[in-house]
Amino acid sequence: MHAITANKGPVVHGYHELRALASQVGKRFFFESTVMDGAPIFSLFRGALPAARLVAFRGILNSTTNLILSRMENGESFDDAVRYAQSIGIAETDPSGDIDGWDASVKIAALTTVLMDTFKAQQVDRTGIRALTPADLQAAINDGERWKLVCTARRDAAGNVSAKVAPERVKRSSPMYSVDGTTSIVEFETDVLGKLAVIESDPGPHTTAYGLLADFIHAVR
């Protein structure tokens, strides 16, 4: 039967094998909800952008850390912002997966594996947000910038892909500057269209569920 998942593990660790198996038996293996909660990322390249080659992407893929940083800009301590994220159910009891950049790294690995046909999660250069203070965030604001946990991947002229997740100060001219709270964004750079951005505002269980439903509809059509 067709296989549809919101679990990043099978994509990061078994994408090529599962895709090949699905092809052998004439079925589909889809996973739209693994990154950005059902926003059409993978299906964008599978359907709407035929023959487009992904050169690079850049964005905010972990909404929990984005919410924490947004609240710290308003004067909350790091610990208080984490506790708030836990209280509304978007951060785990052990928040290290988010704040240390693991979740973002796995999402980068999923995107690079599927869309750039390379990479493993352990190869992502990873730095989290633990070291940032409200004073750091305010200093950036005073300079017309904001701190964000930014995910990047780029293919060089030789075809090699490098990827990292790390806090960065972004300028007002960046589309990431105005992304607040639990909103996510990814900006793709292709060889045919230049840059194309997808923004998902305030996702939740309903958006993840929609991604699964969309995959089901695409699979059986």
Q: Is the pTM of this model over 0.75?
A: yes
Active-site residue, from 107, 120, 148, 171: 107
* Average pLDDT over all residues of the chain: 94
Q: Mean per-residue pLDDT for 60-71?
A: 96
Pairwise CA distance, residues 211 & 88, whole Å: 22
Burial 157-196, CB ≥16 within 10 A → b, else e: eeeebebbbbbbbbeeebbbeebeebbbbbbbebeeeeee
Whole-number Å distance between alpha carbons of 167 and 65: 10
pLDDT of residue 119: 60
Q: Is the pLDDT of residue 35 over 80?
A: yes
**pLDDT tens sequence across 96-147:** 999 999 999 999 999 999 999 876 656 899 999 999 999 999 999 999 999 9
Q: Hey, where are the domains in the chain?
A: 41-202
196-212, pLDDT tens digit by residue?
999 999 888 899 999 99
**pLDDT at position 122:** 62
The pLDDT value recorded for residue 203 is 86
Residue 38 has pLDDT above 90, yes or no: no
107 is catalytic: yes
Q: Which fold has domain 41-202?
A: Dihydrodipicolinate Reductase; domain 2 (3.30.360)
Task: Output the six-digit token pair for 20.
Answer: 């090949």
Q: Which residues pair with 200 in a beta bridge?
A: 184
